[in-house]
Structure 1
Amino acid sequence: MNAKTMLFGVIIALVTAVCAAALTVAGMHYFRADATTGENAISGFFTSSDSHKVEFVEIKNVVITLKGTSENERYLLLEVNLATSDPKKTKSVEDMTPAIRGATVSLLSEMDYQAVREMSVGTLRDKLKAAYIEKFASLKIPVPFDDVIISKMVFQ
């Protein structure tokens, strides 16, 4: 092996090392996750293209006085979450919280304690959703949420 062959081998090794380093750096930048979205260049291959983010607006501590059969007053503490898939709709739900609270109180304050107590969570959810839809229709505003979720029910 002469000096020329040895020098040629070293040059090829250096060029290969520089190319490998350049490709590694370029690949790291290309595949690195974006700090704002958390996605990278190949995440689209492994996730569904029609996935969407669900956002919740929590309406806490709605206290309703229920009709009782005795002189004792009965109360219901209710917490509701409204699910939406659009940030603009989330803002609309937040803006309409007083109307939603009012519809909740209007619906439940007319009901008997025992009737509400015996009602399933699913049935109560359906009644609340119908009341909210009716309230938004009376205000001539499109319903900004997709679903109603009852997160807490406390009877006293």
Structure 2
Amino acid sequence: MWMPRVILLIVGLNTVITLGSVVFGYLYLRPDKSAGVEHEQQAGEAPLVQDPENYVFYPVEKIVVNLRGEDREHYFVLDLALQGDAKQSVSAFKQADLLVRNAVVGSLSTLPFIQLRALSLIDLQSRLEADLRKSFSAKGLDIPFTSVLVSKMLVQ
């Protein structure tokens, strides 16, 4: 009769040890997020907080650029997203759509296919952003975006 009690005691002890190890693992082995904030503040840096509600994204879809290659013509298709302030109205982005398309086509169509193909995504985004800023400034228009993001890219 004492054997079922011993088995019950062992099963109960195993359950307590398992639950204890799960709680221990959760409390003591997880990364401490507050330590990273304290480390950043000690280093003299302001904590980087990006709230997605502070931004609005406006898509500019399917910009097609024809490129000359050595033996044939190529095409380059881009989908962009313009990142702006949440306070910025969507109508400002809609009005800028045609100018953005024109500036992107003008900027990229001058590049040879091989050179455009060799650009990294970050370089392409930087180039487009700089060219768009120049284009808006040349026309005396306010720049409705803070940055340009490439959301889709197809090179053929």
The TM-score by the shorter chain falls in which range? 0.5 to 0.7
Distance 1:65 1:52 in 2: 37
Query: Structure 2 unaligned runs (5+)?
Result: 1-48
CA distance 1:58–1:51, shift in 2 (3 Å): closer
Aligned to 2:151: 151
- Once superposed, what is the RMSD of the aligned Cα atoms? 1.8
Q: Please, what TM-score do these two structures have when normalized by structure 1?
A: 0.64
Distance 2:118 2:127 in 1: 14
**What percentage of aligned pairs have identical amino acids?**
25
Aligned to 2:126: 126
Aligned to 1:41: none
| 1:96-107 alignment runs, 5 A limit | 96-107=96-107
User: 8 Å contact 1:67–1:110 — kept in the other structure?
Assistant: no
Q: Please, what TM-score do these two structures have when normalized by structure 2?
A: 0.64
SS at match of 1:131: helix
Q: Which one has the largest radius of gyration?
A: 1
Distance 2:134 2:107 in 1: 11
Q: Deviations over 1:34-69 (max 9, x none)?
A: xxxxxxxxxxxxxx9x98521111000000001211
Aligned to 1:138: 138
| 1:64-103 alignment runs, 5 A limit | 64-70=65-71, 72-103=72-103
Q: Deviations over 1:54-104 (max 9, x none)?
A: 11110000000012111x110001000000113434321211100000000
